[in-house]
Structure 1
Amino acid sequence: MPTDLNDPQRKIRHLLILEDLDGFRLVPLEESSYFLGRDLTNSIVVRSQGISRQHALFLRVTNADPNSYGFMLIDGNLQGEPSTNGTSVNGEKCASTKLNHGDRIVFGRQMKAKYLVLGALTDLEFGDFCKNFDFEEAVTRDINPRETFVHEGDEPPSFGATSLVRLASFPEILPSPMFEVNLKGDLTYINPAAYNAFPSLQVLGVDHPTVQGLIALTQSSKQKILSREVTVDEQVYEQSIHFISENGLIRCCLSDITERKKVEAELFKRDRLLQSVAEATTHLLANGSYEEAIDAALAQFGTTAGVDRICISENHVHAETHRLATSIRYEWTGPQIASIRHLEHRQNQLYSNPHLQRWYTTLAGGAAISGVTQSFSTAEQTVFSQEKVQSVLAVPIIVKNNFWGFVELHDCNDHYQWSDQEEAILRTMAASVSAALERQDKDEIIHRQAFHDALTGLPNRVLFAERLDHALTDARRNQDNLAVMFMDLDKFKTINDTLGHSVGDELLKEVANRLQHCLRGGDTVARWGGDEFTLLLAKIRTIADATRTAQRILDAFKEVVKIDHHEIYINASIGIACFPDDGQEAEVLLQNADVALYQCKEQGRGIFQVYDADMNSEATELFALQNNLRHALERQEFMLFYQPQINLQSGEITGLEALIRWQHPEQGLVSPATFIPLAEESDLIVQIGKWVLEVACQQIVEWQRISGLPLTISVNLSARQFYDPTLVETISQVLRQTQLDPKYLELEITETIAIKNIPLAQQVLKQLQGMGIKIAMDDFGTGFSSLNYLTQLPLDTLKIDQSFIKRLTSDAKELEVINAVLSLGRGLHLSVVAEGVDTPEQLELLKSLKCETVQGFLISPPLPVLEATSKLQAKSLQYQMSEQDIKQTLPQPALLVN
C-alpha cells in the first residue's frame, strides 16, 4: 500500500551523528535551537580538543507548513564571536549555512558530524533504520583518519537503537533529573539523575508528584513550553515542561530549588523589597518586548520600594567628540514627580563634565554612589537641585563584564540614608536588568546572523524569500501587482582582482546604501550573493512603477564612488519580472528576472530589461545550465580526463594534463568552453578549481605508485582562481592531504591572466615556486607574447598554443616561428611543450626542431581514468604508427574536445 504522508504517526526525522573523544552518538534534532560546545550549559556537549566552549548553533528554520522545516548551522557563540578553530561543511569553512541531507560537518578541524534528514517514518520504522544503519561509517567516510580523534577502548561500542539513543543523548550525563511521558501517561524515558532523585517514579507513574496533572496542564495550555514547582518528599523542584506536539511527548527537566526557596522565604519575610525585585525580574525574563519588560520592572520595583524616581543611564560614544558619555535610557517616576529624562544635562553628557567626574571612576570600579545630595560636590548639587533630589543611590550595570551604565534611585522628599541591604537589593535589580539586556543582545545577534548579510546588513536570501512569499500572498488576496528585480554589478570581479577584496567589500556596502535610498519604505532589497542583489517592489500599480525604480537605481550609480583614494565608476544591469503576468510563484518570478538580467548583459550591460516570454531561448537554456551548474559538484557530475605528454627523445610519458568534463544528466557531455565562463560569472570556478586540484593530485599519486614513473600532473588555473587570496593556502592544503611531492605539480596560467596584474602575479608565482611547484605559461603565442613579462615572471615551462602546431608544415616561415619559440625557451632555461600534435608530419617536424615534449591527439586524446591507467601500465606510448593506423585511431573531428 502507498505511504500516507499525512499519517500523524509518520514524522520527518532530523538527525545529527557525532563523534568526539567519547565515541559516536546520535542526536535527534527536534527543538528550535541547539548550542554545541564544551561548556556543560550547551544543549549538545562535546568533549574534543580544539572545540570552543560555545562553538556553534543549530537554528531551526520553519516554512509555512509547520511540519516542514530544516536547520541552519551558525558558527560561533551568542556574542557573535566566531569559534576559535572554525566550522566547515563539506570541506568548506563557513560562518553560517543551511544544512542539507548528508552534509559532513567538522568542528574545530577535529570533531566530525553528519546531518541526516529521514523521510516520513513511524517510530517502528525509525527503530529499524537505527538498527540497520552503520553510523560510524556514515560519519567517517571520506575523512582522513590521521586528522580525527578515534575513540580508544577494549571493545567497540554497541550501536543498537535503544542504547545508541541513550549513549548519544546529552540528558544521560545531566546532573538534573529529566524524563519524558506520552499523552497516555506512559514514561518513555528516565535519565540516571531522575532514577536517583525519584526512586518511585517508575513505579507510581502518573501518580508521582512530578507527573500528576502534567498531561492536563499541557493540553489545556496554548504554550508548548511551561514551568511549575512540585514538591517531592519535602524537596522543592522547578519543573521545566516542553510539549513536543510533533511526537506527542512531554519532556520535563527538574532543578532542585529547595535551598533557594528557603532563602527566598527568609528574605521575603525580612524585607519586602526583595519581592519587588523578584517580580521585576519576572517582567524582565518573561516579557518578549525588552522595552516594555524594563519599564514594567522599574514600575514594580519603584512602587514596592517607595522611591520617587528610578533612572537607568547607558554609556555610549559622544556624538561630536567621540568620547565616552552617558544618557538616560529608561525612567520611572512616582506620583507628582517630574520626569528628568529629556533634560539637557541628562542626555549625551560627557563623563569629563564636572558633575560626572567621579561617577565613571567610582561606578566603573564596581563601587556605589550613595548619600544625601547636600554632601556631594558643588557641581553635582547644582544638577540635583534642578531635579529636586534630596538623596541618591546608584550602582553600576555590568553587561558581558563591561561597564554598560548605571541605575539610580531618587528620594525627592527626605534626606534618606540608604542601607547596605538596600544597596545589595538594588545591585540584584541591576543584575536582572543586565541579564535582560544581554539576552536581548543574544537574540538580536542570532536573528541578525540567521537572516541578514554580514557585510552589507541587508536581508539575505532566507529573509528575502520569506518576504516575497508574504507579498505574493497579499497580492493574490488583494489582486495587486508586484515586481521582482535581479541586479548585479558589471565587471565587479575586475575591481576585486585589481583593487583587492577590501575595496570590493566597501563598494558593496556603498551599493547597498544607494539601493536602499532608491526604494520606498515597504520595499525590500537583499544581497543574493557576491555582487548580486534582489529587490521586491510590493503593491505597484503598473510595470512603469518598476521601470522608474530601475532607472532611478541606474542613475544613482552614475555618481563616482570614492574608496581609499580610488575613484570607481560602476554600472549595474537589472532584470525585472512582474506578478502576475511573468509568474505566479516566487521561484518562477526570480528565474524570469534572472533571464531578463542575462538579456541585459547580452545587449551591452548598464541597462534594465523587463522579462518577455519570447526572449532568446538560448538565454533561457544558459540560465538553466547555470542553475544546474550550482549543483554539479554535490551531484558528482564532474569528471577529469587526462591527456598524456611524452618526451620525444625517450618516448616515455613524463606527465599528464588534467582536463575537466561535465557529464550533464540530460544534455550529456558539456564542453568546458560552455560551462567554464558560466562558472567564472557565478564564482563557482573557485570551488570547481579546488575540486580539480584535489582529484588530479590524488590521481597522480596513485599513478606514480602503480607505474613507478616520476609523472607530473598539469592543472589549469582560471583568472578568478589565480587571483583568489586563498589560492596558495588551498594548494598547500591539497598537497598535504594527497601527499604529492610539489615538484610533480605543474600549474598552467595564460598570458592574459599574468599581465592583468604583473606585480601581484609575480608575488603569487614566487610563492608557488618557493613551494617547489612548476609554473607553465599556457597558450603561448596567442596573447601579447611579450619578452618583457617573460623576463619578469618566474616560469618553468612554455606551452606553444595548438593553433601554431596545426599550421605547422614544411613551409619555412612556420618552421622559423616554432623554432624561434623553442630557441627562446632554451635561452630562458624554460621547458617547451608543443600542444595539439595531431599528424605524423607535425610530429616529425617537431622532432627535427628538437622539441622536448609534445601532447596531442596523435599521441593520445584526453582519456578517462581507466583508459589512462592502462596507458601508464604499459610504461610508454607507441607513437611510431603507420599513416593508415593513425587515421583509424584518431577520433572524429566533432569529438576533438580539449
Structure 2
Amino acid sequence: MKFNRSLNVLSPLLTAAGLFALLTAQKSRKVLTRRLEAASNEDPVTGGANERKFLAEAGRLLRSAGSKNYAVIAFHVRGFRGINEVFGYRNGTRVLHGIHWVFMRHTEKGELSAHVYADRFLLLLSFQDREELCLRIKNICADLKNTIEFYGIHYELSPAFGVCECPEAGTADVRELVNRAVIALKTGRTYEKLPCAFYDEQIRTRQITLKNMADRLSPAMQNREFVVYYQPKYSVAEETLFGAEALVRWRTNPQTLVPPGEFIPEFERTGKIAELDRYVFRQVCSDIRKWMDEGREPAPVSVNLSRVNLLDFSIAEEYRAQAAKFGVPAGLLELEVTESAFAQDGPALEAAMKKLTDAGFSLSIDDFGSDYSSLKMLYDVPAQTLKLDREFLNGLNSGERGRAVVSAVAGLAKKLHMTVVAEGVETEEQLEFLKKIRCAAAQGYYFSPPVPEEQYAALLPAAEKRAAHADFYGNRENSAV
C-alpha cells in the first residue's frame, strides 16, 4: 500500500520531468538543426556565404526582382597560385579574407557575395545600366588594390571579372547564369579598360561552336577530317632543309580548313587532346614511312605532345610500339612539349620525359620565353632542343637589350648541349641576327608557311643524299626504335 501511495506521489513529478526532458531534447534538436543549416551555408575560409547559400538566395532575389536589373559576377585573382607559393598558404587565406571584406563593403541590401573555392568568388549586384555597373566594378578594383600587404610591402592584386546580366530575372536559372559568368571570365577579355568580360551572344555562339567541335572529335577522326601540315625548318647557316614541325588542321568541309587555335584549347579543356595527339603521331609515322618507301631522305619531324599525354607514363611504350609498327627510326621523331606544361608537376613531367628519351625519342621545349620561362627548367628537363618563342625575335626591335637577351639564352642552351631553333622568323634581318649568334635552325614565314604533306615531301632529297640536319642532330635518325 505504501509503495502504491509513493507511486501516486511521484507520478506527477515523473511526468513533469519527462515533459521537461522532451522539450529540452526538442529545443536541442532545433538548435542543432539551425547550427547545421548555418554551417551548410557558411564558407569555412571566409566565414561568409558559400556557393550553396548564394544559389538559394540569388534565386529568391531574382524571382522577386520585378523590373530591377541584376548581374551575376564571377571573380578570381590572376596568379593567385603564386601568392600561395611565395607568401605561404596562411597569407593566401589572408588575401581571401581581404577580398571577402571588400565585397561585403560593396554589396548592399538585396545583393550577395560568396566564396566558392580557391580564389573564386561570386557576386550578385543590382544596377540601373551598364555604365553604373562598370563604375561599381571599377570601385571594387580600386579597393582591392589597397587591401593586401605582406611584411609591410604592398601587394597589388590582379583581379578579373566575368559578368552575366540577368535577362528576364524572374524566370532565370541561377546556376546557368553562374556558368555564363564563369565562361565570360575565362575569355580574359576587358571592357573599357576594366578587367571584366560581359557574356554576350558572341560568347554564346562561340560556346556552342566549341561544344559541337568537342562532340565531333571522334567522328572527325574516323572520317579523316584532321590533316597534318608540315612547316619546314631550315639550317640557319646554310639555309637548307633541317626538319619540320607537324601541325594539325581540321578540314570541316572541302572549302574550310580550321587552324589549331580554333579547336585545340577546347580539346585541352575537355581532355580530348589526348586522342588528337595519338591521331597526329600515327599520321606522321605513316607519312615518314611513305617518304622512305618513295626513296626520299626524311628529315626529323617534331610532333606536339600535350601535357595530358606526357603525364601518362604508358605513352612512351605506346609511341615506341607505334613507330616500330611503321618501321620509323626513333631519331626521326621529336616530341615537343610547351614550356607552360612545367608550371605544375615539374618533377613528374621530368620523369615522364626521361621515359620518352629512354624509348629513343628526342625531346624539345616549345615556345620557350612565352610563359613559364625558368632557367632551372633547362637544367632539369632532359630535352635536346630548345625552341625560342617568336616573342624573343620580336624583342630584337627593342635594340641591344633585346638582342642581348636572345643571345644569352641561345648561348646558355648551347652550353647545355641543346640544339636551338628559332620560331616565327619573318625577316632577313632576324635571320642575319640568328646567324651571328650561331642559332642552329629556324622556322617561320620567311622560309615557308605550314604546307600539305605532298608539298613538303617534294622538298626532301633522294635517299642517297644527306640533308643538312645530320650534323646538328648527330645522325640520330640511324637509331632504331
CA shift for structure 1 position 768:
1.4
CA distance in 2, matches of 1:635, 1:546: 39
Residue 643 of structure 1 contacts residue 855 of structure 1 at CA under 8 Å; is this kept in 2? no
Select 1:714's aligned residue among 274, 279, 302: 302
Select 2:216's aligned residue among 632, 635, 638: 635
CA distance in 1, matches of 2:182, 2:169: 9
CA distance in 1, matches of 2:132, 2:442: 61
Residue 485 of structure 1 contacts residue 593 of structure 1 at CA under 8 Å; is this kept in 2? no
Aligned pairs for 1:843-882 within 5 A: 855-856=443-444, 861-863=449-451, 867-868=452-453, 871-872=456-457, 876=460
Q: What one-letter code is carried by the residue in structure 2 that aligns with 1:746?
A: L
Question: Is the counterpart of residue 697 in structure 1 residue 285 in structure 2?
Answer: no
CA distance in 2, matches of 1:643, 1:500: 45
Select 2:78's aligned residue among 491, 496, 517: 491
For these two proteins, the number of residue pairs brought into alignment is: 401
| Residue matched to 1:361 | none
| Residue matched to 1:769 | 354
Cα distance per residue 1:426-469 (max 9 Å; x no partner): xxxxxxxxxxxxxxx9xx9xxx9xx99999994479x94x8767
CA 1:684–1:482: 2 relative to 1, 3 Å: farther
Question: Is the counterpart of residue 337 in structure 1 residue 18 in structure 2?
Answer: yes
Residue 338 of structure 2 contacts residue 368 of structure 2 at CA under 8 Å; is this kept in 1? no
| Residue matched to 1:747 | 336
CA distance in 2, matches of 1:704, 1:454: 57
Secondary structure class of the residue paired with 1:488: strand
| Residue matched to 1:481 | 68
Cα distance per residue 1:109-130 (max 9 Å; x no partner): xxxxxxxxxxxxxxxxxxxxxx
Question: Is the counterpart of residue 831 in structure 1 residue 419 in structure 2?
Answer: yes
Q: What one-letter code is carried by the residue in structure 2 that aligns with 1:862?
A: P
Q: TM-score, normalised by structure 2?
A: 0.52
| Residue matched to 1:373 | none
CA 1:639–1:694: 2 relative to 1, 3 Å: same
CA 1:452–1:635: 2 relative to 1, 3 Å: farther
Q: What one-letter code is carried by the residue in structure 1 that aligns with 2:450?
A: P
CA 1:776–1:459: 2 relative to 1, 3 Å: same
Q: What one-letter code is carried by the residue in structure 2 that aligns with 1:601?
A: T
CA distance in 1, matches of 2:406, 2:179: 52
CA distance in 2, matches of 1:683, 1:530: 24
Q: TM-score, normalised by structure 1?
A: 0.32
Residue 489 of structure 1 contacts residue 573 of structure 1 at CA under 8 Å; is this kept in 2? yes
| Residue matched to 1:729 | 311
Secondary structure class of the residue paired with 2:215: coil
Secondary structure class of the residue paired with 1:337: helix
CA shift for structure 1 position 836:
5.5
CA distance in 1, matches of 2:392, 2:186: 38
Structure 1 unaligned regions, length at least 5? 1-307, 309-332, 348-440, 613-618, 809-815, 879-898
Residue 641 of structure 1 contacts residue 862 of structure 1 at CA under 8 Å; is this kept in 2? no
CA distance in 1, matches of 2:309, 2:91: 18
Residue 459 of structure 1 contacts residue 526 of structure 1 at CA under 8 Å; is this kept in 2? yes
CA distance in 1, matches of 2:431, 2:309: 36
Q: What one-letter code is carried by the residue in structure 1 that aligns with 2:229?
A: Y
CA shift for structure 1 position 491:
0.9
Secondary structure class of the residue paired with 1:829: coil
CA shift for structure 1 position 799:
3.5
CA shift for structure 1 position 699:
2.5
Residue 712 of structure 1 contacts residue 746 of structure 1 at CA under 8 Å; is this kept in 2? no
Aligned pairs for 1:178-193 within 5 A: none
Secondary structure class of the residue paired with 1:657: strand
CA distance in 2, matches of 1:556, 1:804: 34
Residue 630 of structure 1 contacts residue 684 of structure 1 at CA under 8 Å; is this kept in 2? no
CA shift for structure 1 position 574:
4.0
CA 1:486–1:627: 2 relative to 1, 3 Å: farther
CA distance in 1, matches of 2:139, 2:242: 59
| Residue matched to 2:468 | none
CA shift for structure 1 position 796:
1.0
Aligned pairs for 1:418-457 within 5 A: none
CA distance in 1, matches of 2:64, 2:167: 12
CA distance in 2, matches of 1:496, 1:590: 26
Residue 75 of structure 2 contacts residue 161 of structure 2 at CA under 8 Å; is this kept in 1? yes
Residue 574 of structure 1 contacts residue 597 of structure 1 at CA under 8 Å; is this kept in 2? no
Residue 148 of structure 2 contacts residue 154 of structure 2 at CA under 8 Å; is this kept in 1? yes
Aligned pairs for 1:216-227 within 5 A: none
CA distance in 2, matches of 1:513, 1:819: 46
Residue 232 of structure 2 contacts residue 443 of structure 2 at CA under 8 Å; is this kept in 1? yes
CA distance in 2, matches of 1:822, 1:597: 34
Deviates more, 1:628-637 or 1:482-491: 628-637
Aligned pairs for 1:226-241 within 5 A: none
Secondary structure class of the residue paired with 1:633: helix
Residue 560 of structure 1 contacts residue 569 of structure 1 at CA under 8 Å; is this kept in 2? yes
CA 1:604–1:849: 2 relative to 1, 3 Å: closer
CA 1:823–1:652: 2 relative to 1, 3 Å: same
Question: Is the counterpart of residue 797 in structure 1 residue 385 in structure 2?
Answer: yes
The Cα RMSD (Å) is 6.9
* Higher helix proportion (structure 1 or 2): 2
* Higher strand proportion (structure 1 or 2): 1
CA shift for structure 1 position 698:
3.1
Using the aligned pairs only, state the percent identity. 21
Question: Is the counterpart of residue 572 in structure 1 residue 153 in structure 2?
Answer: no
Aligned pairs for 1:481-560 within 5 A: 481-492=68-79, 495=82, 533-536=121-124, 555=143, 559-560=147-148
CA shift for structure 1 position 527:
7.5
CA shift for structure 1 position 536:
3.9
CA shift for structure 1 position 632:
3.1
CA 1:568–1:661: 2 relative to 1, 3 Å: farther
Q: What one-letter code is carried by the residue in structure 2 that aligns with 1:339?
A: F
CA shift for structure 1 position 862:
1.7
CA distance in 2, matches of 1:575, 1:685: 18
CA 1:560–1:859: 2 relative to 1, 3 Å: closer
CA 1:639–1:486: 2 relative to 1, 3 Å: farther
Residue 486 of structure 1 contacts residue 594 of structure 1 at CA under 8 Å; is this kept in 2? no
Q: What one-letter code is carried by the residue in structure 2 that aligns with 1:831?
A: T
CA distance in 2, matches of 1:661, 1:500: 43
| Residue matched to 1:73 | none
| Residue matched to 1:601 | 190
Aligned pairs for 1:34-113 within 5 A: none
Q: What one-letter code is carried by the residue in structure 1 that aligns with 2:70?
A: A
CA shift for structure 1 position 765:
3.8
CA 1:736–1:807: 2 relative to 1, 3 Å: same
CA distance in 2, matches of 1:512, 1:567: 15
Aligned pairs for 1:194-593 within 5 A: 334=15, 337-340=18-21, 458-459=50-51, 464=55, 472-475=62-65, 479-492=66-79, 495=82, 533-536=121-124, 555=143, 559-560=147-148, 570-574=157-161
CA distance in 2, matches of 1:844, 1:541: 58
Q: What one-letter code is carried by the residue in structure 2 that aligns with 1:658?
A: A
Cα distance per residue 1:586-643 (max 9 Å; x no partner): 578985897699798345556x79x79xxxxxx8746754664455323348956432
CA shift for structure 1 position 831:
2.5
CA distance in 2, matches of 1:561, 1:700: 53
Residue 388 of structure 2 contacts residue 420 of structure 2 at CA under 8 Å; is this kept in 1? yes
CA distance in 1, matches of 2:15, 2:43: 44
CA shift for structure 1 position 777:
4.3
Q: What one-letter code is carried by the residue in structure 1 that aligns with 2:20?
A: S
Q: What one-letter code is carried by the residue in structure 2 that aligns with 1:642?
A: Y
Cα distance per residue 1:404-436 (max 9 Å; x no partner): xxxxxxxxxxxxxxxxxxxxxxxxxxxxxxxxx
Q: What one-letter code is carried by the residue in structure 2 that aligns with 1:486?
A: I
CA 1:336–1:850: 2 relative to 1, 3 Å: closer
